[in-house]
Amino acid sequence: MNVLDASAFINEYHTDEQLATIPLVREELEDESAYRFDALEGSGMHLHIPDEETVERIRRAADETGDLEELSTTDIRLIAAAFELDGELVTDDYAMQNVAEKLEIDVEVIAQDGIEEQREWHFQCQGCGREFDENHDRCPICGSPLSRKNPSSA
C-alpha cells in the first residue's frame, strides 16, 4: 500500500498499488490537487487515522534524528500511517524520508532525489560553538540559539 503525502497529489502521482493517506493532507491541497484527492477518495483510497501511541513513537524517532522541528503534525501522522499500514511512504520531504529510514519504512520519491543516507543531526550553538546531540530552545551554556548541523560535516 502506498501512503501519499501532499506532494503526490500536487505532482499527479500514479500507481496501480492500493492508496492511503490521512485526512489532514486534504487541508494542504488547493484547486486541482484537492480535486485529485477527492477523486481518489471516491474511487477507494483509504483514509487512515493513526493511533496516538504510534504518533508518539514517530515523534520520538524524529526527535532522535533531529528532524522533529522540521516536521508538521501532518508529516508525523503520515509517517505513523505508513508505519501502521506497513506501507510505502510517497513523499519528496527529506526530513520525512530521514525519519522513515530510521523506522525502516520504505519510501518512494516523486519529483526529487531521495536521501542517500539516514542522518542523526547534531546541534551547534551559534554563540559559543558547543555541539549537542539533542536540540534545545537555547544553548544551556551561553543562552544563544542552536542551529541544526550535519554530523558528517563536523
14 part of a folded domain? yes
- Cα separation, 67 vs 63, in Å, equals 6
The per-residue pLDDT for range 11-43, each reduced to its tens digit, is 889 899 999 999 999 999 988 899 999 999 999
Contact 55, 115 (CB under 8 A): no
74 shares a domain with 40: yes
Q: What is the DSSP letter of 3?
A: E
Range of the domain at 134: 122-153
* Total number of domains in the chain: 2
114 part of a folded domain? no
> Three-state SS for 141?
coil
87 shares a domain with 19: yes
* Those residues with Cβ within 8 angstroms of residue 137's Cβ, 6 or more apart along the chain or in another chain: none
The per-residue pLDDT for range 79-137, each reduced to its tens digit, is 999 999 999 999 989 899 999 999 999 999 987 654 455 566 677 888 888 877 776 67
